Amino acid sequence: MNSIILHRKKFTVCFIMLMFTGSTFLFAQSSQTPQHHNFNVTELGNNFPFNQPSGKRIQVLYRPGEFSRPTPSPSGDIVSVSFKLIVPLGPYTYSDFTIRLGQTDITDFTSGIWYSGQMDTVFYRPSITLSSNSLWMTFNLDRTFNYDSSRSLVMDIQHCGAPGASGFSSSVTNTFGVRRNTSSAGTMCPFVFGESTGIVHLFGITLGPATSILNSTSEIPDSYSLSQNFPNPFNPVTTINYSIPVSGLVNLKVFNILGKKVSSLVNDFKQPGNYSVDFDASDLTSGIYFYKISAGDFSEIKKMTLIK
């Protein structure tokens, strides 16, 4: 169980800073509130998911109409998301930092299991250093998310480790229902399910013009990498993230346990950047599969598990 501390004070704006250093990014956001955010009552401090040195995964469900402050959010394309803070963050460096968004008609999670509906990876960094002394911490998304305000929004965020992370607190409130899923204490990527609760994080969205950007080529990594697919195990869709530091031909293929190719996900010339691709295994049977990337002199294989 995570510790919860009563919120006693708020922090004011300090400054805005953005600095690029290789594949790691350091930024502190302003305290300007997002365009629309959820309720702002009974605030408590919570150390998930940022204040977890060994990594953490959470899923939070936001019901229709909850992004109502200062005015109700219409439908539109989400271009950034914001987390409200209680205790300033960092700087800490997080590995495989991922934010995913999805929509559903349910208003509560099914207790005791991960939500497994369709979700889009909207922000990914193989390594990112986060630091903020402000009231809100904002992430400009790598790809916009088409939001329907009449349906629930599911936010899934995880990182695979942040050495030394301590003393940080994000803002949450306790509600009725099953609104948050968390990974089990002590488990690391891929995470084992832990518990379901009524805790909801104070969270905001900003809408803007739609864009077809699917990767972040302006933020150039300093090395090749292939991340573990997420979620894993999965049914039937999972996301694979990869990074390339130089332009070139990229091949990303999926094989079954017998070594037979079952899908070609990427076969294209790519500019340097961080990329995300979804693998839909609806037509495949349960079992172990392997995905392999080849780019320049770099080649790597990882294993994933499909459970139907």
Give per-residue pLDDT as tens, 270-289: 888 888 888 999 999 999 99
Same domain, 203 and 231: no
Tell if the pTM clears 0.95, that is, is over it: no
Q: By C-alpha distance, which of 109, 34, 104 is closest to 68?
A: 34
Measured distance CA(9)–CA(169) in Å, rounded: 12
pLDDT at 168: 79
Distances (CA, A) of 140 to 13, 81, 165, 286: 19, 7, 23, 36
Q: Which of 159, 174, 208 is the last residue of a domain?
A: 208
pLDDT single digits (tens) 141-193: 888 899 999 999 999 999 999 999 988 788 999 998 999 999 999 888 889 99
**Tokens standing for 26?**
């350091």
Measured distance CA(11)–CA(89) in Å, rounded: 11
Same domain, 84 and 23: yes
pLDDT single digits (tens) 262-273: 999 999 888 888
Same domain, 192 and 256: no
Same domain, 229 and 295: yes
pLDDT at 219: 64
Q: What are phi and psi of 260, to 5 degrees?
A: -85, 135
Q: What is the mean pLDDT of residues 69-90?
A: 91
Provide the phi-psi class of 290: left if phi over 0, else alpha when psi is between -120 and 50, else beta. Answer: beta
pLDDT at 210: 58
pLDDT at 169: 85
Give 208 or 14, the one with higher predicted confidence: 208
Asked if pLDDT for residue 301 goes beyond 70, the answer is: yes
Asked if pLDDT for residue 36 goes beyond 70, the answer is: yes
Band (12; pLDDT cuts 50, 70, 90): very low
Number of structural domains, the chain? Answer: 2
Show the domain range for 239.
215-306
Same domain, 98 and 73: yes
What whole-number percentage of the chain has pLDDT above 70? Answer: 85
Handedness of CA 115, 121, 123, 125 (dihedral sign): positive
Same domain, 202 and 232: no
Q: Write down the mean pLDDT value for the chain.
A: 85
Asked if pLDDT for residue 21 goes beyond 50, the answer is: no
Band (85; pLDDT cuts 50, 70, 90): confident
With contact defined as beta carbons under 8 Å apart, do 124 and 213 qualify?
A: no
Q: Which of 208, 243, 269 is the last residue of a domain?
A: 208
Q: Which of 179, 208, 237 is the last residue of a domain?
A: 208
Distances (CA, A) of 199 to 35, 58, 239: 23, 11, 26
The DSSP secondary-structure symbol of 244 reads E
